[in-house]
Amino acid sequence: MLIQWLKEIVKENLKSGLFVWYDPLSSFEDVVDKVIPKDAKLLKFEGSYLVLRFKLEDEDPEFEKKWVVYIPDEPGEFLKDWELMGSKEVLSLPDLLMAKGAGMDRELKKALEVNSRVLVKNWRILIGRKEPDREQIINALLAIAFELTKWDEDEAVIKFLSQTEKFASRLGEMKLTASWLRKMEEIIDVGEEDLQKIREKLVLSLLFGEIVYKGDQPAESFASLPKTREKVTTILERWRNDERYKEYYIEAVREISEKVKIKDHIVFNESLLNLETFPEIDEVILQELLSSTTPENYEKKVEKIREIAKKRIGTFWERNGFIYYWKPIKIAAELFIGCKKALEYDGQSRMIEKYVNEWWILDKLALELTSYKIEGIENLVKPAITTYERYLDKINRKFADAVIKEGWVQNHTSFWEYVKGAEKPVAVLFVDALRFDLAKMIVENVRGVENAEINWLYGVLPSITEVGMAALLPNSQIEIKKDNPLKVEISGESVSTKIERRSYLNRRGIEVIDFETASIPKKEILTVMVRDIDRLGEISDIAPNNLIDIADKISGFISRLRDAGFRTVIIGSDHGFLYLISQPNKVTCKGDFVARRFALGAKLEGCIIFKAAETGISGDLLLAFPVGTAVFAIQGETPHFVHGGLSLQEAVIPVVSLKLSVPKEKVGIKIESPRDKLTTIVAVVKLKPVFKRFDAEPRRVCVEINGKRSEYMTVTTEKVETVRLRWLEPDEKPPEEVELKVIDESGEVIGRREFKVSLLF
């Protein structure tokens, strides 16, 4: 519309053949060339009237052509003869808008005197083709002040709240302070012109307003509320969820929390469950759950507890690392519910079927749960831990009863059939102590797989490395003999130790490497020995996270095998394990050799007793196993990690078959943010994919800062991924600077940057 107006004015003035156009505010300097008719010529003043005259009079001394002479300045005496010869007009944007009835007043005129050129330059974007009124012009000017491509009042408010000093200065320079105050008056009672104080009042009103309006809290408990509820939640949600302004929101909340004891003003109700305003809201909800939950009523409340925790996971303060407890509370609830349902089943085959398809999740949940700090939330977590321990004991007592009735059938010799039938080259991973849940994690995490299957085998008893690893060897009809404590043979050849098993494979033309090896030879069949899980289990204070990390490392190693040209990976294990959270029941046992979960040459009432031959292996040894989660009493404290016995977790062994795809280019990673410093203990890291081809393969990576690692995530060509990592505990002293690393699942560091540390909260 603006261009059309100007075209009409120019056309009318050109009837005389010469149009002298003065624009004192330079309003139209950037668009004047767009309004000149094709049959006319434009001559712009560029600092010298003499040069202007020479240009026109040299080219057209008789003034036979049509000319528009544009002068971005006040009228002077230099072109009086041209003005008399043709037509003259003094026209800047305020003059044009006044002529078009746009509601010009003193305030708007002052603003346009400063901003008319920039407004005209952005007219098409900010106003478009419509005829603007005064309000639309003010909004367009404010959009320029707040660096917006279109007027968005909510974002303008957010920018004002986040960077008050900067935008207060811009508003003053652009003569728009009064216009902005009127906008603020629609939300709060302004009462003054100090923009910093207005900002403080606005923050308080919006935060309290969300608590009252969305959280259904009594209005009389909060001193300052906005005039309307319409904008409150939309502004706050955008403010805290926009990565550009999130840190300013956190700082604003911190300022209010230092002045007002928020918890004293909040009353628990269901509406709070959807509220994210203050971290104290989570504390109020948690306190309500803690005060109303006891070990006796936990079962009745567990579904509601899970529902509440599920709602709170992903809310602002939780996902940014300020609230830690909702995930363990949710995991605990799911673990409790799952354990209760599992105890309904009987029969060996039925229990194994349920374990390999469903119950393994309970072990995973328990492992995850014990990796969290539960101090302060014991009422909401310990019932699940107690129930899991009861489940472990009861289900494995049932399992023991079923085995006594039905026997323990061996099928370990079928493991090598998976290897024989695999597409070559094939890598065979002998993973010590790979429980079913860890095998599932490996399959879930590994990339570049065309097909994945998890089957199972009956583990060889006792479920220890010497016996189980020997059973995985080709032609492995094993025999066990007592020899400090056991000797394992295949056709008279000892395979009790790792060195002996390696030699056994080498003599059959199968190369063996260790998991930690730097280089991977390409062979038709390559065996890889992975003992990390069992070796870690020997540490008395093993952390559950360490076990989960090893599963991630194995996934990364499989990616290396794929890059090395292997087409198939077969994973087998010697045994699983029990992870005992509390000290188990101890049973006194005498025999030729007594370990925690098995004994040789012992006869003990209440235990499972087998002759070796009854378990499908050669030898006349007598094997004894405690039932459930009990252990034989031997010197020393029982570690969390135990194996050797007869339980679903120890003796049902996963066999993983992975058909690998042919490697392609992998996406690269560019660290997009943070930009220059870390301001919170939870870093928000944006990882941008870099690639030459759109079919580049996804890459699994984690982020490491200050020795803390995120979970692995998959970066594809499709979008920028966001990683949130708590890199510093609240009670830790922050360093002056830290290094951020992006680490591929193979262990390669593929990106790094250093950041200064300047914590806001």
- Using the predicted structure, report yes or no on whether residue 631 has a pLDDT greater than 70: yes
In a domain, 201, yes or no: yes
253 and 202 part of one domain: yes
DSSP bridge pairs for 624: 599, 609
53 and 199 part of one domain: no
Between 243 and 380, the more confident residue is 380
In a domain, 105, yes or no: no
Q: What is the pLDDT of residue 517?
A: 83
**Can you say whether the dihedral through the CA atoms of 114, 118, 120, 126 is positive or negative?**
negative
User: Could you tell me the CATH number of the domain that includes residue 617?
Assistant: 3.40.720.10
Q: What percent of the chain clears pLDDT 90, i.e. is strictly above it? A: 63
627 and 707 part of one domain: no
State pLDDT tens for residues 480-539. Answer: 888 877 889 998 899 999 999 999 999 999 999 998 887 899 899 999 999 876 666 565
Q: What is the pLDDT of residue 537?
A: 58
> What are the C-alpha distances in Å from 368 to residues 437, 544, 548, 580?
11, 7, 8, 13
Task: Calculate mean pLDDT across residues 346-352.
Answer: 89
- Using the predicted structure, report yes or no on whether residue 602 has a pLDDT greater than 90: no
State pLDDT tens for residues 716-743. Answer: 988 899 998 888 887 788 899 999 999 9
Q: Any idea which of 35-44, 60-69, 134-143, 188-197 has the lowest mean pLDDT?
A: 188-197
Main-chain phi, psi angles of 43, to 5 degrees = -125, 115
In a domain, 240, yes or no: yes
Half-sphere exposure of 752 (CA within 13 A, CB side): 10
pTM of the model: 0.82
In a domain, 589, yes or no: yes
State pLDDT tens for residues 663-687. Answer: 888 899 999 878 778 888 888 899 9
Task: Calculate mean pLDDT across residues 554-560.
Answer: 90
Range of the domain at 253: 152-265
State pLDDT tens for residues 362-379. Answer: 999 999 999 898 899 999
| Cα distance between residue 672 and residue 742, in whole Å | 12
Angle at 538 between CA 535 and CA 541, to 5 degrees: 120
Give every CB contact of residue 476 below 8 A, 6+ residues apart in sequence.
412, 413, 416, 470, 490
State pLDDT tens for residues 172-187. Answer: 999 999 999 999 999 9
- Using the predicted structure, report yes or no on whether residue 214 has a pLDDT greater than 80: yes
Question: What residue type is assigned to position 250 of the chain?
Answer: I
231 and 295 part of one domain: no
Q: Examine the fold and report which residue of 613, 643, 660 is the final residue of a domain before the chain moves on.
A: 660
Max avg pLDDT among 47-56, 262-271, 299-308: 299-308
> What are the C-alpha distances in Å from 479 to residues 408, 463, 488?
16, 14, 6
Question: What residue type is assigned to position 643 of the chain?
Answer: H
Please, which pLDDT band fits residue 607 given cuts at 50, 70 and 90? confident
Query: Any idea how long the chain is?
Result: 761
Task: Calculate mean pLDDT across residues 184-193.
Answer: 85
Main-chain phi, psi angles of 8, to 5 degrees = -65, -40
- Using the predicted structure, report yes or no on whether residue 306 has a pLDDT greater than 80: yes
Q: What is the pLDDT of residue 178?
A: 93
Q: Any idea which of 532-536, 575-579, 707-711, 721-725 has the lowest mean pLDDT?
A: 532-536
546 and 422 part of one domain: yes
Q: What is the pLDDT of residue 711?
A: 86
Give CB contacts under 8 A, 24+ apart, made by 542-549: 542/639, 542/640, 542/641, 543/371, 544/367, 544/368, 544/370, 544/371, 544/579, 545/371, 547/367, 547/438, 547/579, 548/367, 548/368, 548/371, 548/438, 548/441
Q: Examine the fold and report which residue of 370, 403, 436 is the final residue of a domain before the chain moves on.
A: 403
382 and 444 part of one domain: no
Instruction: Report how many domains make up the chain.
Output: 5
Buried b vs exposed e over 160-179: b needs ≥16 C-beta within 10 Å?
bbbbbeebbebbeebbbbeb
8 A C-beta contact, residue 52 and residue 42: no
In a domain, 334, yes or no: yes
In a domain, 101, yes or no: no
Between 385 and 613, the more confident residue is 385
Max avg pLDDT among 480-494, 514-528, 541-555, 566-580: 566-580
